[in-house]
Amino acid sequence: MVFLPSMKYVEDIDIKRLAIKLRPSGERMVKKGHPWVFEDSIVKQNIDGGAGDLAIIYDTKKNGFLACGLYDPYSPIRIKLMQFKKAAQINETWFSTKINDAFQIRKPLLETDTNSYRLLFGENDNLPGFIADVYDHVLVVKLYSHIWFPYLNWILPNLIEVSQCKTVVLRLSRLLKSKGETYGLQDGTVIYGELEDDVVIFREHGVSFSANVIKGHKTGYFLDHRHNRKRVGELSRGKSVLDVFSYAGGFSVHALKGGAKEVISLDISKHALAMAKENTKLNNHDGKHQIIVADAFEGLQKLIDEQKRFDIVVIDPPSFAKRENEVSRAKKSYAKLARLGARLVSSNGVLILASCSSRVVAEDFFEISEENILDSGSVFEVLEKTYHDIDHPVNFPEGAYLKCGYYKLS
């Protein structure tokens, strides 16, 4: 292991090895390569487990190795699996291989004018609950599980080497802030190098943005829609654009840079809209930019009442279904947004509807969107349907969350 002088190393944490057997249903999922083992599917466990202990799953009948992962006492997803079918030593080399594999997948993106990307996407890169986003020379690691503390000393130097980042910021999920040991590390700890400014400037397909890596949502910005924002930029020349749930203006700024004549960013958060304003200033453009602070449903209705129309309307709401019992309400919200959005699109304009709820699958989301566009009295042509960009690979069903439909309305 290379010693990095400006790294805050985590104290040594003892790791136990647990032998686990599962109920047939759990075993079937593991055999399919699913990374989650729920607490109620464990039928045999040799000793008590602590956060990050190595959990090895054995076949109930033949006793052979099925998979191994890390034990999480704080989550109903009790074991997060990382290695399937063939036994392997989970050591620094193992992590280094996974990180290099992940980097290889992202490489084509770095040949574009982009220096911001998701280097590790949790389960989908075999590191469950571990997110690593790069913004220029700043790497933001966000942990969603306590299992990672014993392994940070191995993982971080490898991430730094691959990404060539000069600074690493650690972000902790709400669960980690409220429960369990975090070894003196806090949400926002600069764990390697120095952070000159909480706000980091980076590029996304030739467009400049800034993100507050200490206080911003998730790791500071939503990298996942990059390909859709680029597309909106390409569609925007000379157009009027409404960007609903704009956050820091991802779609708005690409539209302006792409030559939109006017853009409205609508969000409930004043703070997000202030960031959107700042982000427009980082780029040369001739278009007019306006903000509306409002609840989206009310704001859209008001624009309809004022008989406003736009050439392009983008609606990219937050996840409406964080829990299973929220799914039917989420579907109703998607329906309502499609109806409201369709009424604001001018003839031959484009309505772009996105969803980031993994519990509402793509097929259902598109069906709801299309039924409701028709209900609002418009006829549509599907221009495109998009899913994940290459830095958000999908390795298991729940990993697929992003979908986006482009509808030309008449």
Write out the two tokens for 324. 């299973």
DSSP labels for 218-240?
A: TTSS-GGGHHHHHHHHHH-TT-E
Q: How far is CA 268 from CA 152, 160, 344, in A?
A: 37, 36, 19
Q: How far is the CB of 252 from ligand SAH (least distance, A)?
A: 9
Q: Which stretch binds ligand SAH (CB under 6 A): 268-276, 302-310, 328-336, 374-382?
A: 268-276
Q: How far is the CB of 269 from ligand SAH (least distance, A)?
A: 4
Reference 322, options 175, 117, 116, 141; nearest CA is 175
Q: How far is the CB of 339 from ligand SAH (least distance, A)?
A: 16
Q: Binding of ligand SAH at residue 251 (CB under 6 A)?
A: yes
Write phi, then psi, for 203 (nearest 5 degrees): -115, 145
Q: Count other C-beta atoms under 10 Å from residue 266's C-beta.
A: 25
Residue number with CB closer to ligand SAH (49 or 341): 341
Each as own residue / partner, the long-range contacts of residues 132-137 (CB below 8 Å, 24 or more positions apart, any chain) are: 132/159, 132/163, 133/219, 133/220, 133/221, 133/223, 134/163, 134/165, 135/200, 135/202, 135/211, 135/213, 135/219, 135/220, 135/221, 136/200, 136/201, 136/202, 136/203, 137/164, 137/165, 137/166, 137/167
Site for ligand SAH in 345-404 (CB under 6 A): none
What type of residue sits at position 193? Answer: G
Among 318, 322, 377, 384, indicate the residue that binds ligand SAH (CB under 6 A): 318
d(CA 73, CA 404): 36
Q: How far is the CB of 27 from ligand SAH (least distance, A)?
A: 38
Q: Count other C-beta atoms under 10 Å from residue 198's C-beta.
A: 16
Q: Which stretch binds ligand SAH (CB under 6 A): 16-24, 53-61, 156-164, 264-272?
A: 264-272
Q: Binding of ligand SAH at residue 316 (CB under 6 A)?
A: yes
Residue number with CB closer to ligand SAH (62 or 323): 323
Among 36, 103, 245, 320, indicate the residue that binds ligand SAH (CB under 6 A): 245
Site for ligand SAH in 286-305 (CB under 6 A): 295-296
Paired strand residues for 370: none
Q: Binding of ligand SAH at residue 344 (CB under 6 A)?
A: no
Among 117, 222, 334, 380, indicate the residue that binds ligand SAH (CB under 6 A): 222
Q: Binding of ligand SAH at residue 320 (CB under 6 A)?
A: no
Residue number with CB closer to ligand SAH (247 or 366): 247
Residue number with CB closer to ligand SAH (18 or 296): 296
∠58-64-67 over CA atoms, to 5°? Answer: 50
Q: Binding of ligand SAH at residue 132 (CB under 6 A)?
A: no
Q: Which stretch binds ligand SAH (CB under 6 A): 55-63, 94-102, 233-241, 262-270?
A: 262-270
Paired strand residues for 44: 21
How many chain residues interact with ligand SAH (CB under 6 A)?
16
Among 105, 185, 268, 274, indicate the residue that binds ligand SAH (CB under 6 A): 268
Q: Binding of ligand SAH at residue 193 (CB under 6 A)?
A: no
Residue nearest ligand SAH by beta-carbon distance: 250
Reference 184, options 165, 168, 170; nearest CA is 170
Q: Count other C-beta atoms under 10 Å from residue 277's C-beta.
A: 15
Cβ–Cβ under 8 Å, residues 202 and 133: no
Give the binding site for ligand SAH (CB under 6 A): 222, 225, 245-248, 250-251, 267-269, 272, 295-296, 316, 318
